[in-house]
C-alpha cells in the first residue's frame, strides 16, 4: 500500500488519538469511524493491506466491545461429531450408520465433520493454496477484483456489511457465484480459476450426497432436498484471516448463523472456528482431509426446527494467516432467484407438530439477508409464527 494513501494517514492519526481505545466515549469513536471505514474501503486491499502497511496495533474500526476470548471459555471436553462417509453407496449397513450419525448431529449440534467424503486431500490442499495465493498476490492485482456489488459473479472485498456493522472483522474475502452459471474463465483470477472450477464440481457432488442423507434422516425420499433445488446454487467464499497483532480486540467473524440451506467448510490447520453448543463456545478442531458441514437457517425453517442452524464465529489469532473456503448452498444473487416458496415440509407436520415458521420466497429471504448487518441476531426470528 502506498504510504500516501488516505487510509494510511488516517489510521496513523487514529492510533495517536485517545478515541482509539475500545472503551472510549462512543460519540467520538463513531464520528471518526465513518471516515476510517471509507478510507479502508478505498484502499481496496483489505485487512491484508493494512497489515502489510506495517501496523502493530489493530485500528479502532475493528474493535469489539468485549474480549471474546475472556468472556466465555470454550468447552474443552466436547467436540462436534465426525461422520465417516466411506462406503455408503455400496454398503447398506454403513449407509444406515451414516444416516443416523448425520441425523443426530443435525438435531443436537447443527454441525459435523465428514471424512472419507470422496474429495481427495490434494484437491483440498490445492484449493486452500489457490485462495491463499489470491489474497497474497500483489495489492494491485487484488484491487482489480475489489467490488461491493452483490450481483457481481466474482469479487474481492473485506467485510460484506462494512458500512452497517459496528465492528469490522479481521478478514478478507474472495467470492464466487460458482453454480449454476459460474463466471467466464477469463473473468476469474488466474491464480485460482482452475482449482475453483474443479472444487465446485466436487463439492456440489458431495453436497448432493449429504442432502440425500439429510432427507433419509428425516424419513423423506432421498432426493427430497435436491428436488427442492437445494443443491442448485453454490456461492463460494474464500476467506482469509490475516495474522492479528491484538487478537483480543477483534474477531475473525462475528457470531452468526448461515442464511442458506447448508454450508460445507474447508479449513486449514490454524483453527479458531467455534460453535455455540449448550451456551458454550466449542472449538471445531482442524482435522486434516475433513470437511465441516453445517445446517443453515433455511433448512432449519424447512425442517420446522428438527435440524438446527447454530451460531458460530471465528476468533482472531496472532498466528496466521488462516484460510478457509465456505461453500454456501443457496443462491445469493437477487436477479437470479426463483419464485419458489420455502416453508416447513408438510410431511414433517402434524397436529402435535404445527408449523413454527411461515412460508417465504427466495426473493424475500435475500432481501432480508442484504438488509440486515452481521449484528449477531438470527435471520429466522422474524419468520416465526
Ligand atoms: C462463514 C463462516 C467460518 C470459517 O463464512 O459463514 O462461518 O471458518 N466461516 O471461515
Ligand atoms: Ni458461517
- Let me know if residue 58 belongs to a domain: no
pLDDT tens per residue, range 179-217: 999 999 999 999 999 999 999 999 999 999 999 999 999
Contact 273 CB / ligand 1 (< 6 Å): yes
Q: Is the pLDDT of residue 26 over 70?
A: no
Structural domain span for residue 346: 67-383
| Predicted confidence band of residue 238 (pLDDT cuts 50, 70, 90) | very high
The pLDDT value given to residue 72:
56
Tell me how crowded residue 71 is: count the other CB atoms within 10 A of its CB. Answer: 8
The pLDDT value given to residue 376:
74
The pLDDT value given to residue 373:
73
CA of 283, nearest ligand number? 1
CATH of the domain at 203: 2.60.120.330
pLDDT tens per residue, range 56-74: 999 999 999 877 766 555 6
- Let me know if residue 240 belongs to a domain: yes
* Contact by Cβ (8 Å): 168, 147: no
Contact 267 CB / ligand 1 (< 6 Å): yes
Average pLDDT of span 141-146: 97
- Let me know if residue 36 belongs to a domain: no
Average pLDDT of span 246-264: 96
C-alpha cell at 369: 439477508
The pLDDT value given to residue 141:
96
Residue nearest to atom 10 of ligand 1 (CA): 324
Contact 237 CB / ligand 1 (< 6 Å): yes
Q: Is the pLDDT of residue 172 over 90?
A: yes
Average pLDDT of span 4-33: 44
Tell me how crowded residue 343 is: count the other CB atoms within 10 A of its CB. Answer: 17
Residue nearest to atom 2 of ligand 1 (CA): 326
Q: Is the pLDDT of residue 322 over 80?
A: yes
Q: Is the pLDDT of residue 42 over 90?
A: yes
The atom of ligand 1 lying closest to the CA of 294 is 7
Q: Is the pLDDT of residue 20 over 70?
A: no
DSSP 222-282: TTHHHHTTTTT-EEEEEEEE---S-GGG-EEEEEE---SSEEEEEE-SS--EEEEETTEEE
Q: Is the pLDDT of residue 1 over 70?
A: no
CA of 313, nearest ligand number? 1
- Let me know if residue 88 belongs to a domain: yes
Number of structural domains the chain divides into: 1
Average pLDDT of span 1-14: 37
Say if residue 180 is preceded by a cis peptide, omega within 30 of 0.
yes
Ligand 1: which of 236, 265, 376 to mutate, judged by most atoms within 8 Å of the beta carbon? Answer: 265
| Predicted confidence band of residue 75 (pLDDT cuts 50, 70, 90) | low
Which residues, in sequence order, are CB contacts of 12 under 8 Å at separation 6+? Answer: none
CA of 321, nearest ligand number? 1
Contact 303 CB / ligand 1 (< 6 Å): no
Distance 327 CA to ligand 1 centre (A): 9
What global pTM score does this model have?
0.91
Q: Is the pLDDT of residue 12 over 50?
A: no
Contact 265 CB / ligand 1 (< 6 Å): yes
- Let me know if residue 24 belongs to a domain: no
The pLDDT value given to residue 68:
72
Bridge partners of 173, per DSSP, are 157, 239
Distance 15 CA to ligand 1 centre (A): 29
Integer Cα distance of 61 and 168 in angstroms: 6
Distance 273 CA to ligand 2 centre (A): 9
Q: Is the pLDDT of residue 279 over 50?
A: yes
Residue nearest to atom 6 of ligand 1 (CA): 258
Contact 216 CB / ligand 1 (< 6 Å): no
The pLDDT value given to residue 16:
34
Q: Is the pLDDT of residue 165 over 60?
A: yes
The atom of ligand 1 lying closest to the CA of 171 is 10
Contact 258 CB / ligand 1 (< 6 Å): yes
- Let me know if residue 45 belongs to a domain: no
- Let me know if residue 177 belongs to a domain: yes
Contact 192 CB / ligand 1 (< 6 Å): no
- Let me know if residue 180 belongs to a domain: yes
Distance 322 CA to ligand 2 centre (A): 15
Amino acid at each position: 500500500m502506498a504510504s500516501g494513501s488516505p487510509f494510511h494517514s488516517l489510521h496513523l492519526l487514529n492510533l495517536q488519538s485517545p478515541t482509539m481505545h475500545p472503551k472510549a466515549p462512543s460519540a467520538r469513536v463513531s464520528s471518526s469511524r465513518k471516515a476510517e471505514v471509507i478510507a479502508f474501503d478505498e484502499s481496496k486491499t483489505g485487512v491484508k493491506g493494512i497489515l502489510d502497511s506495517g501496523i502493530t496495533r489493530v485500528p479502532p474500526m475493528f474493535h469489539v466491545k468485549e474480549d471474546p476470548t475472556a468472556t466465555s471459555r470454550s468447552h474443552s471436553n466436547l467436540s462436534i461429531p465426525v461422520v465417516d462417509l466411506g462406503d455408503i453407496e455400496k454398503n447398506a449397513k454403513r449407509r444406515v450408520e451414516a444416516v443416523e450419525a448425520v441425523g443426530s448431529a443435525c438435531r443436537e449440534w447443527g454441525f459435523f465433520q465428514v471424512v472419507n467424503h470422496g474429495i481427495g486431500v490434494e484437491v483440498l490442499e490445492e484449493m486452500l493454496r489457490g485462495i491463499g495465493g489470491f489474497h497474497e498476490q500483489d495489492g494491485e492485482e487484488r484491487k482489480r477484483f475489489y467490488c461491493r456489488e452483490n450481483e457481481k459473479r466474482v469479487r474481492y472485498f473485506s467485510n460484506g456489511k462494512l458500512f452497517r456493522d459496528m465492528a469490522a472483522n479481521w478478514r478478507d474475502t474472495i467470492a464466487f457465484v460458482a453454480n449454476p452459471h459460474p463466471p467466464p474463465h477469463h473473468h476469474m483470477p488466474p491464480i485460482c480459476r482452475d482449482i475453483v472450477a474443479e472444487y465446485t464440481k466436487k463439492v456440489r457432488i458431495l453436497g448432493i450426497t449429504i442432502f440425500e442423507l439429510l432427507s433419509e434422516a428425516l424419513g423423506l425420499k432421498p432426493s427430497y432436498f435436491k428436488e427442492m433445488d437445494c443443491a442448485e446454487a453454490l456461492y463460494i467464499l474464500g476467506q482469509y484471516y490475516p495474522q492479528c497483532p491484538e487478537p483480543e480486540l477483534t474477531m475473525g467473524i462475528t457470531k452468526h448463523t448461515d442464511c442458506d440451506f447448508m454450508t460445507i467448510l474447508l479449513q486449514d490447520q490454524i483453527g479458531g472456528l467455534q460453535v455455540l453448543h449448550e451456551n458454550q463456545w466449542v472449538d471445531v478442531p482442524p482435522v486434516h482431509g475433513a470437511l465441516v458441514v453445517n445446517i443453515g437457517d433455511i433448512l432449519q425453517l424447512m425442517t420446522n426446527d428438527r435440524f438446527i442452524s447454530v451460531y458460530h464465529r471465528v476468533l482472531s489469532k496472532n498466528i496466521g494467516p488462516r484460510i478457509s473456503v465456505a461453500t454456501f448452498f443457496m443462491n445469493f444473487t437477487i436477479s437470479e432467484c426463483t419464485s419458489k416458496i420455502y416453508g416447513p415440509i408438510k410431511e414433517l407436520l402434524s397436529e402435535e407438530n404445527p408449523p413454527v415458521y411461515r412460508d417465504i420466497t427466495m426473493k424475500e429471504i435475500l432481501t432480508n439477508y442484504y438488509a440486515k448487518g452481521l449484528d449477531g441476531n438470527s435471520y429466522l426470528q422474524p419468520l416465526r409464527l
